[in-house]
Amino acid sequence: MLKTKSLYFFISAAALISSVLHAEIITNIEEKSPSSIRNELDAVDLLIEEQQKHLARQIELKKMMKEFQKQKDEFMQGKQTQKHAIAMVTNAREILAGINEEHIAHLFPAEYLEELVFFSSVAGKSRPVRP
């Protein structure tokens, strides 16, 4: 029992120290049974694994955002083909979904999110829920 309490204390302390951890990372860790986390090193490995997943997703989001900016610029310069428009609205929808999945909407200006919502709504039948 003491070992389990120590493990949960260590997980909580590590979460407070790391400024990039999201609430869902902690949730994922706490959902693991204490018997599946044998020691402090296993707990840290789990933290690192969760952070790497989020980082990889956020890096992908950044690439999609750069592409979206490029698509918008090209659209404004006259590249207004159906293929280009479909790619742009699809990209906007994926960006918005990624922002929602990562719970990072608070990091972006409202205007940017509204723009994503607008373009995303063109891609689907119903307007997506604003973050």
| 8 A C-beta contact, residue 119 and residue 92 | yes
Q: For the beta carbon of residue 103, count every other beta carbon within 10 angstroms.
A: 13
Stretch among 12-26, 53-67, 90-104 having the lowest mean pLDDT: 12-26
Average pLDDT on 68-96 reads: 92
Residue bearing the bigger pLDDT, 1 or 96: 96
Rounded to an integer, what distance in angstroms lies between the CA atom of residue 74 and that of residue 92? Answer: 15
pLDDT tens column, 89-106: 999 999 999 999 999 999
pLDDT tens column, 23-47: 555 556 556 555 566 788 888 999 9
Residue bearing the bigger pLDDT, 77 or 11: 77
Q: Say what the pTM is.
A: 0.64
Rounded to an integer, what distance in angstroms lies between the CA atom of residue 82 and that of residue 75? Answer: 11
Rounded to an integer, what distance in angstroms lies between the CA atom of residue 97 and that of residue 121? Answer: 12
Closest CA to 117 of 103, 102, 127, 104: 127
Secondary structure class of 19 (helix, strand, coil): coil
Average pLDDT on 78-82 reads: 85
The per-residue pLDDT for 57 is: 95
